[in-house]
Amino acid sequence: MADRVALVIGPTGATGAPIAAALARRTGWRVYGLSRTAPSRCASFTHIAADLTDPESCRRAVTSIEPVTHAFFAARAPFREGGVEDVEGNVAMLAATLDALSARSDRLEHIHLLEGTKWYGMHLGPYPTPSREDDPRHSSPNFYYDQQDLLSARAADARWSWSASRPSYICDFAPERSRNLVPVLGAYAAICRELNMRLDFPGTAAGYSVLSELSDAAYLAEAIIFISTHSTAKNAAFNVTNGDSFRWSRVWPLLAQWFEMPCGVPRPMKLAKWMEDKGPVWDRVVARHGLERRPLETVASWEFADFVFEKEWDLLADVGRLRRAGFNACVDSIAMLHNQLEKYRDAGLLPR
């Protein structure tokens, strides 16, 4: 029997997949991933099938494996970009998971919940920054609040502890995920270059100058595992960002340089609309550079791009609590963007 048995709920998502991969690289861990459908390619975990909207399905799946010691809840109900997310559905999925785990709780030590900086209302408008984990909750419905309240209440009557992480925009080399800033930036730049355009920033002058931050997926996974296995991080939530900040006005000229094209100026526009007829342009880019043939909408999510670039307020979280707990790693966000862009280029998914 492995020293520790991990169950990653949502193991193919933006956070679940890096967590499962990071756990699989460690000795003494057996890693399971729970989701409705099996991964489409070789995975770093043993898949068990369950429908999170069906409590009995969850119970059967969890009782089919050895007792779990650490659970990582990274699942999320379907949502519309920028809209109010499904509170009832997200809470029900977590409740079904907790009920299933309670049937095999003799070895359970810790449950980690993935949240995000929407906890602070970053999607609604200006909010106090740098945001701290104990800042007052905003008044709008937010499923993170209901999930954390449920998790902490269950832990109060159990032998296991809980924690939560709040990353910013998660960046990764993840070709299967279009809701990802790196291919958004790369595909937008490539299309502008193909059209002999300068690289304009698709937002306002205010949005060009505010502070922003990112969360590297691999770094986030390491932080989550640290939080979930150290007593200094029990029963608390943690901001988990790269630890630095930037302004698009500093990054945009570098992006233009990486694509060897002139840098433009802020020009507010909705990329979801602008990209509606750019499929043939992308096809020309693919043919010119010998890229893997994929429809443009599977490469980059332009609704997500609009969500990112419409912000005219600072996005900045205080990571002091994470540092005081003992996790002191950090990531250079600009270097991360460039390195991940190069991975997409090496894989033949974005042009040089």
Please list the active-site residues.
Answer: 144
Pair 209, 250: CB distance under 8 Å: no
Q: Which amino acid is at 223?
A: A
Q: Could you give the residue ranges of the DSSP H alpha helices within the chain?
A: 16-24, 55-63, 87-102, 143-156, 181-194, 205-209, 217-229, 248-258, 271-274, 279-289, 296-299, 302-309, 320-325, 333-346
**Pick from 251, 226, 246, 252: which is nearest to 238 by CA?**
226
The encoded tokens of residue 266 equal 């802020």
CB atoms within 10 A of CB 249: 15
Burial class (CB in 10 A: 0-12, 13-18, 19+), 272: middle
Q: What is the rounded distance in angstroms from the CA atom of residue 110 to the CA atom of residue 70?
A: 5
Pair 278, 170: CB distance under 8 Å: no
Signed CA dihedral, 55, 58, 63, 67: sign only: negative
Q: Could you give the residue ranges of the DSSP H alpha helices within 25-142?
A: 55-63, 87-102
With a CB cutoff of 8 Å and minimum separation 6, the contacts of 252 are 199, 201, 208, 263
Pair 213, 338: CB distance under 8 Å: no
